[in-house]
Structure 1
Amino acid sequence: MQTPSDVRRLLAFGVFEANIATRQLFRRGEVVHLQDHPFRVLTMLLERPGELITREELRHRLWPEHTFVDFDEGLNTAVKKLRCALDDSADDPRFIETVPRHGYRFIAAVHPVEDSSVDPADGHTRSSSSGRLQTSDGHDQLARSGALVELPPPVLRLRSSRRRTALTVAVVCVLIAAVGLVYLHRIRQPERPMHFSITLPSQTRDLALSGDGRMLAFIAPLPQDGGNALWVDEVGAPGAHVLDHTEGASFPFWSPDNKSIAFFADGKLKRINAGGGPVQIICDAPIGRGGTWNKNGVIVFARDSGVSISRVSAAGGPVTLVDGFDQKIATTMSSRWPLFLPDGNHFLYTSVDFGTDLQSDASAIYLAALDSKRRRPLVSSSSNAAYVPPGYLLFFRNKTLMAQRFDADTLRLAGDAFAVANDVEYLSSVARALFSSSRTGSLVYQTGAGTTFSQLAWFDRDGRQLSTLGTPARLAKALSGRTPGRG
């Protein structure tokens, strides 16, 4: 039996090589991004190929004594990330076999190889210290930290930094595969990702990706006047621009033809052409909390922070409640963030209980329909949801963006949920995570701490600011004896 001391520095299996010393995983000479816990699991499996590695052994290796952690969830997430990196499947494994209720076994052949700085097979030069790969044609590829989960092409990741005034969107474009997600369908030779970045003018407060994945609408401060407005950025084009007459905008969403954007401002639901122009008022929406627009010109939206969901024509007109929803007051429950599924009849929405801990199971994502009063819970979550073709439900839970198989025809979930991204920005005041997807399978999300900086200030009776108190600090929670309110 092999022991850890017998393991050489570089181990090969299939098209992969694992450098145990530098904690790097390579696929045909290129770095595969893998976080610490998944790599530790891989190391233990490679140390004893063909043998059962128990969950208890993994727990002792991954977490020291007296560590308080949800071990089962943590280990399951680590194994899922590892399988994702290896393009492996629990149902039809090539590398990692699950032994139910016991642990895991590495079933592929493992052999040590000479650790050379140059791999003659693929012409790559490895540099463990820099984390870069240099191809034979002289091009560098940066090995980013963390696990890269390949979702449908292209995948956009919007990263936020509070220390800088600009934001960078890290975009991972994967060529379209006929069978959908690369990892989820276990394509043996996935297309090579391409990375590029664009710069946004300021920190975003919300974002919405167009259905074709080419345009990003987002809410951000105006450069000089202050206050928020609606901005549009064409992916790959130079620079974002603000749409005039959209001051105070919030929670934008796109028309199905990608030509118009609806948003909330001044207690109204409004719309504007994506290229700019006059703003049209659709209807009243005192405290708008999200909307969605189907191909028949019907908009379903949350007009306030209550439990009702309403509908209206995109051209304007009377507002009616969707069947099965009532207007109630004096409750901590709130229905918000509706999202149409591909059939244009069924939609998702989130029912949030602001009277409980938002991390509890009291809030959930529900399935509803325009032609039925029936509503059915799908998954527990206190945030918005998204649907990604060819069939995945995205939702936010425990500071992590999750995905689970979802059949849009049968309206049923299948399999286990798995992690897509960590540290996604979450606005607890309104129970919304900053991510969005397109019909083409693109995903964009913003990372961050989910808090804002606030400062106490004195104002006179006319609303003029007189002075400030102290220095800006993070706003956590207002302490009062009132029933918890809704954002």
Structure 2
Amino acid sequence: MAGPVYEFGEFRLDSGQFELLRNGQSTRVERKPLELLILLASRQGQLVTRSEIAKHLWDSEVFVDTEHGINTAIRKIRKVLGDDPDEPRFVQTVTGKGYRILCAVEVSNGQIGVHDPNLLDDRVPKLQPVESRRRSKRLLSAIVFATVLVIGLICAFLYLRRPLPPPRITEYNQITHDGRPKRLIAIDDSRLYFYFSPASDNFEVSVSGGEITQMPSEVRDYNVLGISPDGTTALLQGPDMSVWSDGVLGGSLRRINGVFATYAAYSADGKYVAYVTRDGDIYRVRSDGTEPQMLVSRRTVAPSGEWSPYALAWSPDGRVLRFSELNKIWEVSSTGSNLHRLFSGLAASNAHCFGHWTPDGRFFIYLSGIQRGSAIGTFYQISALDERRGPFRQASSEPIQLTSGPIRWYGAIPSRDGTRIFAVGVTPRGELVRFDSASRQLRPFLDGISAEFLSFSPDGKSLAYVTFPEGILWKANADGSGRIQLTDLPLYPTGPRWSPDGNQILFSASPDAQSTDLLYVVSSRGGEPHRLIPEDNGKQGDGSWSPDGRRIVFHSQSNGEAALRIFDLHSHRITEVPGSIGMYSPRWSPDGRFIAALSTRFSGLPVCDLETHRWSTVLSHEGIGFPSWSRDSRYLYILYADQQPGVYRVSVKGGVPERVVDLKGFHHTGLVGLWMGLDPNDAPLLLRDVGTDDLYALTLENK
């Protein structure tokens, strides 16, 4: 039965055939909603009241809840049209009245023109009925065959272009259970090679867990850089950065002539080695050291900036080399052409590094995260880049995040069969402890909260601290009660210091992932932090108040080497401390006479006497940090974490340092791995590592 045909948007509504088509495809619609849609289309642009709709749809029916029926029909119409009730394209609701069609509707009578064969030119010869039927049959068969062929080709094309299921992690198996910080460096078919952090001898453990053993003594002084794809040969780095190989770990060593490297990796076929020189250049050589070829020149990429490539990874076909640099992944061909950055379209705060291909080349597994500031190490999750290609399918450029949750992942390496990912899983947490001089023990302080950078108010009644790893600055009473949050993300405060009047707290932070550290102040009663020196965009850190509260000393770096500078809060003048080139982490003594600092130019603890304007070195030693003044300004406390770890104090006049706390066997944690401070009675405060840090095997499912 013929009837009007209404066309709007991508839809064709045939009222005679009672059919709705979308882009030529029939769409299933229930009868009442379709009747209502025909009514609205026939009254295009006009308001159709709810009473008219009820009469049109249910005039002869009784005991019908028309209000509910209309609402249901409208909802189903919107669903089939893909219409948003808040921002409608097709059906507009007139509250309390009814509905109208918004868009333009074209109306036709729906009839198809009829061709009259009697109107044919008489000069056209008429076919005999039998021959005509034969030709029509052959034509119909050809049309059917062509249609089936085209549909088949379209289906095949769509099938080959279909989105493939993404990979996912289906199981987590913990391999080690000691909790000590580790760094995974290489794997083979049966073993994982790693070292405990801080750097120590190399160790190995079975991929299924069990006893941890040291690597053979013959290679104990070498760093494992990588294992050949067939698992038979290791790349080792000697103490002088020379590169060696051995047939099996613990076997005979063979030096790769002329190669000195910070990182190195075998190609998938084991014929080549790519390596990074001490200058940051990337080379490719044959595994015997012959035929060297430069792939990436530091002078070309970063002639004056920082450039330190690491984590080299060859593609399974040997055509591409990827590497990490400053939390970004780069790619270059194995001949040195087409150097470019991956994920260049992502936000600058996105970090990605330490990538490895699965052996079949289907996925590139790497670490990803969001950088929260220049002072904080990024907390990584494991992600994948889908490298699956086909005749009609391009590799995806969209990252796939495989893990989430509180565990942070490091050093993810796919297994040789591609079914697992081995990685270090870290759940960071610290326990705040204070040294008890009576028992000579470190005991939990403030119930052992996970916090660092403690700073007490001048009257000792309040304190400020930064939670770890969240990075939030809090102010509280001295017993930990009455907490007030002072900062929020993305700021990650470090080194908070109270003003002498107790009204403000000074700290360093980066406003975003790509900016350098700047000085901020915030009211101790709460409020919005603000820049201390907004006119200076150079690096600013470790601010320390003068005892009168009129000046602040800080380390700064705008052009060239760092130096100490003093900011006058009244005049806003900035002056450089004479003789402070290369110094950082300044601390103003409580009596106002001295400024202590650390130095990049020499090992030790320089102190400037502001009365004589002369510098002296009160302690000449490497590996010291976190200088803190005693209350009476007579001593400096420092943290030493090397051969004889401990908290020491040394007289401002110099002399032999005295060990206050023995830290042998103490496991540090914190934003930079360790931290030390003092309470109002000069009792050392530390952050003990109580988090977990172990090797895991993650089952990777991909279809």
TM range (shorter): 0.3 to 0.5
Superposition TM-score, scaled by structure 1 size: 0.45
Computing the radius of gyration over CA atoms, which structure comes out larger, 1 or 2?
A: 2
Superposition TM-score, scaled by structure 2 size: 0.33
